[in-house]
Structure 1
Amino acid sequence: MDRWQAMRIFVRVADSGGFSGAARQLNMSPPAVTRAVAALEDLIGTRLLTRTTRSVKLTEAGGRYLEDCRRILADIEEAEAAAAGSYATPSGLLTVTAPVQFGRIYVLPVITEYLSRYSAVTARALFVDRVINMVEEGADVGVRIGHLADSGLTATRVGTVRRVVCAAPSYLDRYGAPKEPRDLHDHAVIGSTSVGGLAEWRFGGGRRTAVTVRPRLICTTIDAALAAAIDGHGIVRLLSYQVAPALAEGRLRTVFDDQEEEAMPIHVVSSDGRRAPAKVRAFIDLAVQRLRANPMINADNP
C-alpha cells in the first residue's frame, strides 16, 4: 500500500474515531485498516494513535501529522481535479457554512439557485452558530458576520449588519420606551445565548457605554427570543437581519436608534484563494452578487 493511501486511511480513522468505522466507510476489513496505520507509524517512526478497548485517540504527534495529511491530500486532490478539468467546469461536492438563521434566510436561496445552474454539483449546507475551522470541517465557502481574525482566509465583503434593541408596540405602549441604556434595569429583558453578549449590552453613538442586563427570559435560539419579543414579553437585542421582517411589518419597534454600536461586516470567505476550483469560484461569484443586492441585510459595496 502506498504512503498516500495509508495517509487517507489514517485521516478516515481519526475522523471516524475508530478502525471499524473507518473500515466500513472505506469498504475495507478492520485488520487491513489497522495494518495500514501501523505501517504508516513504522514508516515515520512515531505513534500516531493511542488505542484502548473502547476508543482510539490521537497522540500529540498524531494531531500535528493529521493536519499535515489533510493539507497534503488536499493538494493531491487539487492536482488531480485540475488534470481532470474540474477547474474549468463546476462539479463535485460543495460545502457552504453560515450562521443558522442567516444561512436559512439568505444563503440557502443562493445555494438552490447555484444548483439549478450547475447540474454536476451537489451541495452541503453547514449552518451552525459558531465559527468553524473550515479546513478541519471540510467547508469550501463560508459566510461570516463580524470582524475577521487574521486567519489566512480569502474574504470578500458583501455588506453589514447592526445590533438593534427592539420590543413589540404592545410592550412599549404598556411600559414606555427606555430613553437611556441604564433604563433597561427597569424593563423585562429577553436574552438569547445564540448571539452572545448575554450579560452586557454595549452601545455607541455620541458616548460609548455598556450596561449589565439581567434577562427575565433566556432563550437558547434566536427564533424563540424573537417570538417572545413579538408577543410583548420584553425587550430583545438581535442582529438587524434577524428582526428586519418584524420591523417592516410593524410587529417590533426599535429603541436607542442613535446609540447603536458600529455596524459589523459580512464577508464571503474561502481558504482556496486563487487556486479555488470552478465550483468554489462560481458559487462565490453568485453569492457576492446576490448578497450585495439584498437590502434586507443592509448590503453595501466595500
Structure 2
Amino acid sequence: MDRFHLMNVFVAVAEAESFAGAARRLRLSPPAVTRAVVALEERLGVRLLTRTTRVVRVTEAGARYLEDACRIMMELDEADVAAAGVNAAPRGHLAVTAPVLFGKLYVMPVIAEYQSAFEQTSVSALFVDRLVNLVEEGIDVGIRIGQLPDSSLRAIRVGQVHRVVVGAPAYFHEHGVPERPEDLARHRLVAASGVSPTNDWVFQSASEKRTVRVQPRIIVNTNDAALEAARRGYGLTRLLSYQIAPELASGELRAVLTDCEAPDLPVHVVHREGRHGSAKVRSFVDLAVARLRADSALGP
C-alpha cells in the first residue's frame, strides 16, 4: 500500500481513538482501516496502537510516530498551498500559550495585532502558570520563562527576566529597608507560589550563592494578588522583573536587595514546527519575536 495512505489512516485512528471512527472520517470500510494499520506496523516492525474492546491508544513508539506523521502531513499540505501561490496568506486556527501575567501584558497585544493583520485566522490563548505540553494539548506556539528542558521544540530567545524583591515606599518608611537577604526575617512577606514555589529564596552575590528560608505571612497562587498586596503597602513580595516593570518605573514600588538578585531567566518563543512550518505559525512567531525583543522590560 502507499506509505502516505498508511500514515494518513494511522493518524485518523490515533486521533479518533477508534477504527470505526477513522473509517467514517476517511469514508473507508473498517476492514480496510484495520488492514492499513497492520500493514504499517509490519512495515515499521513496531506496535503503534494498543487495542481493547472499548478503546484504541497509541503506544510510546506510536506517540512519537504520530507527532512525526502529523508534521509530515502538514508540510505536504503547506507544499500544496505554496504551489498554488497562496502560501503568503496565513489561515486557520492558531493555539498559543503563555504564563498568565505575561500573556496579559505582552502576548495579547501580539495576538490582537496578528489577528487584525490576518483575518483568515482565529486564535485561542491558554494563559496558565504551569508548563504546558505543546504536543499533548495541541498548542502551536508557547512562551517559556526559565531554562528549557531538552526537547524537540524549536526555541527562539527573545529576552530575559529576573526575580526582584519589591515593596511600596510607604512600607519602607514605616518598617525600614532590608540591607541583606537575612533581614527579610524581620519583614512582612507575601509569596506568589508561581514565582517562589518553595519558601527558599535564592540570592546571588558576586562571591557566593545564598539560600534564605523565608516565612511568608501570606501565600497566594497568582502574581496579581501578590503585586496588589505590595502596592497597598502590606509588605514585601518577590516577583519577576517584567511583572512589576510599570510600578518600578512610576515609583509605586521600589526594588531592594538588587545587588544580590538571582541569575537571569531566559524567555523563549517555542513551537513545534521546522523551517517549512505552516504560514500561520511562522507569521505569528516572527511577529512575537520582533515585538518581544523590542520591549525594554525583557532586557537588552
TM band (smaller chain) = 0.7 to 0.9
C-alpha distance in 1, partners of 2:225/2:253? 15
C-alpha distance in 1, partners of 2:79/2:295? 34
Query: How far apart are 1:41 and its partner, in Å?
Result: 6.6
The residue number in structure 1 matching 2:239 is: 238
C-alpha distance in 1, partners of 2:7/2:263? 49
Q: Per-residue CA shift, 1:124-150, capped at 9, x if unaligned?
A: 212222222222322222221122233
Residue of structure 2 aligned with 1:67, choices 64, 67, 88: 64
Aligned to 1:82, the other structure's residue is in SS state: helix
C-alpha distance in 2, partners of 1:221/1:116? 30
Range moving further from structure 2, 73-82 or 216-225: 73-82
Using a 3 Å threshold, how does the CA distance of structure 1 residues 34 and 193 change in structure 2: closer, same or farther?
farther
The residue number in structure 2 matching 1:266 is: 267
Using a 3 Å threshold, how does the CA distance of structure 1 residues 175 and 52 change in structure 2: closer, same or farther?
farther
Which amino acid in structure 2 is aligned with residue 119 of structure 1?
E
C-alpha distance in 2, partners of 1:159/1:47? 40
The residue number in structure 1 matching 2:157 is: 157
C-alpha distance in 2, partners of 1:100/1:107? 10
Using a 3 Å threshold, how does the CA distance of structure 1 residues 173 and 74 change in structure 2: closer, same or farther?
same
Aligned to 1:275, the other structure's residue is in SS state: coil
The residue number in structure 2 matching 1:125 is: 125
C-alpha distance in 2, partners of 1:72/1:254? 50
The residue number in structure 2 matching 1:219 is: 220
Using a 3 Å threshold, how does the CA distance of structure 1 residues 291 and 47 change in structure 2: closer, same or farther?
closer
The residue number in structure 2 matching 1:12 is: 15
Contact 1:162 1:261 survives alignment (8 Å) = yes
Contact 2:9 2:37 survives alignment (8 Å) = no
Contact 1:9 1:37 survives alignment (8 Å) = no
Q: Per-residue CA shift, 1:161-186, capped at 9, x if unaligned?
A: 11100112222222111111011112
C-alpha distance in 2, partners of 1:123/1:278? 14
Aligned to 2:113, the other structure's residue is in SS state: helix
C-alpha distance in 2, partners of 1:78/1:196? 41
Aligned to 1:143, the other structure's residue is in SS state: strand
C-alpha distance in 2, partners of 1:266/1:33? 49
C-alpha distance in 2, partners of 1:13/1:258? 55
Percent of pairs with identical residues: 41
Structure 2, unpaired ranges of 5+: none
Query: How far apart are 1:286 and its partner, in Å?
Result: 1.4
C-alpha distance in 1, partners of 2:23/2:165? 54
C-alpha distance in 2, partners of 1:4/1:276? 19
Which amino acid in structure 2 is aligned with residue 277 of structure 1?
S
Contact 1:192 1:198 survives alignment (8 Å) = no
Structure 1, unpaired ranges of 5+: none
Using a 3 Å threshold, how does the CA distance of structure 1 residues 225 and 28 change in structure 2: closer, same or farther?
farther
Range moving further from structure 2, 38-47 or 128-137: 38-47
Aligned to 2:61, the other structure's residue is in SS state: helix
Query: How far apart are 1:282 and its partner, in Å?
Result: 1.7
1:172-191 superposed matches below 5 A: 172-191=172-191
The residue number in structure 2 matching 1:114 is: 114
Number of equivalenced pairs: 286
Query: How far apart are 1:38 and its partner, in Å?
Result: 6.1
TM-score w.r.t. the length of structure 2 is 0.83
Using a 3 Å threshold, how does the CA distance of structure 1 residues 3 and 202 change in structure 2: closer, same or farther?
same
Query: How far apart are 1:274 and its partner, in Å?
Result: 1.1
Query: How far apart are 1:122 and its partner, in Å?
Result: 1.6
Query: How far apart are 1:27 and its partner, in Å?
Result: 11
Aligned to 1:274, the other structure's residue is in SS state: coil
C-alpha distance in 2, partners of 1:152/1:69? 14
